[in-house]
Copies of this chain bind each other. A is one copy, B any other.
Amino acid sequence: MNAPTSHDHLVPVITPRTIPAAFMEALKQRFADNCSTAQIVREHHGRDESAFTAVPPPVAVVFAQSSHDVADAVALAAQHHVPVIPFGVGSSLEGHLLAVQGGISIDVGRMNKILSINADDLTVTVQAGVTRKQLNDEIKSTGLFFPIDPGADATIGGMCATRASGTNAVRYGTMRENVLALEVVTSSGQVIRTGSRAKKSSAGYDLTRLMVGSEGTLGVITEITLRLYPLPEAVLAAVCSFPSIEAAVRTTISTIQMGVPIARVELIDANAVRMVNAYAKLGLAESPMLLMEFHGSPNGVKEQAETVQEIANDNGGQSFEWATTPEERTRLWTARHNAYYAGIQSKPGCRAISTDTCVPISRLADCLLDSVAEADASGIPYFLVGHVGDGNFHFGYLIDPNNAQERETAETLNHQLVQRALRLEGTCTGEHGIGLHKMDFLVSEAGEAAVDMMRTIKRALDPHNIMNPGKIFSY
């Protein structure tokens, strides 16, 4: 199968495989009511938050209750060479869930138990269907928290699969740094564990990190052991408006280069502020702003915040405002997390094409400002938000999915942005993954030889190409 070319990025290549009747019978027999073939259920599981045109949905959805269920479903699929697509809450953004080669969806959403909290070790083990908010609710009494927060209330399994991160990654790292070990169902339906609860290990190949970011193409993640962190003694949030995006970006770059251990530093452009104001009636000043958060001791956060306030002032930052109560902080961060939905709401019937480049911090202004100029010139409505402390930002180009011209324009903007990020030694995806959408970009970024190495690993571990086939690279 060939990868889609850059000009039909949002029209998936579909190469469905024959699903043997014997497979469907065996599946129904094994899973009974936990296997659905209802059209609406299948359609719900055959799409994600991306702007891809619809493809035929999976032929069935298995609602797994346990790792054993997942293993049995995969073993059956392996026997009949049927594709398997793991499903969490469906919040992925690059077409990961589309059944481009047919097959079944395995929904792990009912595997939502916290299996063990080891507060003394700052670790927790959860089933793959636990969502990040559920996790933080259930561990609240321990005084610990799990920091990784992609915008959506994604499942921990899905966050592992895409190597997700979010607003706190600048301080706490991404899923790459915060997964200690996994339980994984392999392509033959075998259950393996990839690590222990030790904080570090040199015991053989790092299967944990091979699985993190593999987007369901090497196995189905069923359990995850995560690192937790003590809730900081003091938390201080601040918001600061800037006369230009450049001023906000320069403030961020200096903050990072000075080594301030800032916990969050998020850029929201004037468009995004306007959309969020309309969506949630917030009354924020409609200019580019940075949302920041500092974690530490009471003195420590004060020191950090004062340093950043000085940097912001030097860059023309206005009205540095503090949010000290949990309620004020929640209001600010809810605004940030709602930016995507606020963007969608701002143009009825639209879909967002979300970019996801990430560049070294010294290249951030170069990468971002030229891309803003291009987006402004295009006439496509957009918003811009970013985990700028990591050099990662997202344009959301708001397009009418039925308007080929708009799609093409947005794809061209994205293409130019990615090429620019790669020239600046960055990556085409900081946290969303490759999915269907960025397969060409992966080749540009990593080179044919490195993608060949990935393909060799895939073929060795999934010889019948049943694990979320057609994603990341052509088989």
Contact = CB atoms under 8 A, between A and B. Distances in A.
Interface of A: 118, 120-123, 162-165, 169, 173-174, 176-177, 186, 190-207, 209-210, 212-214, 218, 229-230, 232, 253, 256-259, 296-297, 299-300, 303, 356, 358-363, 390-392, 421-422, 425-434, 438, 441-442, 445-447, 449-451, 453-454, 456-461, 472-473
A204 B442 contact: yes
A163 B472 contact: no
Contacts of A442: 203-204
Among A169, A206, A426, A454: residue with most chain B CB under 10 A: A206
Contacts of A392: 198-200
A430 to B, nearest CB: 5
Contact of A202 (B186, B196, B213): B213
Contacts of A425: 196-198
A382 B434 CA distance: 51
Among A253, A449, A458: residue with most chain B CB under 10 A: A449
Contacts of A472: 204-205
Contacts of A194: 446, 450
Contacts of A232: 259
A163 B461 CA distance: 24
A36 to B, nearest CB: 30
B198 A451 contact: no
A446 B209 CA distance: 15
A367 to B, nearest CB: 10
Contacts of A192: 447, 449-450, 453
A204 B297 contact: no
Contact of A120 (B193, B257, B303, B390): B257
Q: How many copies does the complex hold?
A: 2
A297 B253 CA distance: 20
A74 to B, nearest CB: 14
Contacts of A212: 206
A459 B197 CA distance: 28
A375 B383 CA distance: 64
Among A164, A197, A207, A392: residue with most chain B CB under 10 A: A197
Nearest to A170: B199
Contact of A177 (B177, B186, B202, B258): B177
A175 to B, nearest CB: 9
A143 to B, nearest CB: 9
A200 B121 contact: no
B360 A201 contact: no
A257 B123 CA distance: 11
A171 to B, nearest CB: 11
A460 B165 CA distance: 31
B257 A451 contact: no
Among A192, A433, A459: residue with most chain B CB under 10 A: A192
Contacts of A174: 200
Contacts of A390: 199-200
B213 A431 contact: no
Contacts of A358: 198-201
A457 B457 contact: yes
Contacts of A432: 202
A257 B120 CA distance: 6
A362 B202 contact: no
Given A196-B425, A196-B426, 13 more contacts: A120-B362, A186-B449, A194-B446, A198-B392, A201-B358, A202-B356, A202-B429, A203-B428, A205-B218, A207-B450, A210-B457, A299-B299, A299-B300
B230 A198 contact: no
B229 A445 contact: no
Contacts of A461: 453, 456-457
Contacts of A202: 162-164, 213, 356, 427, 429-434
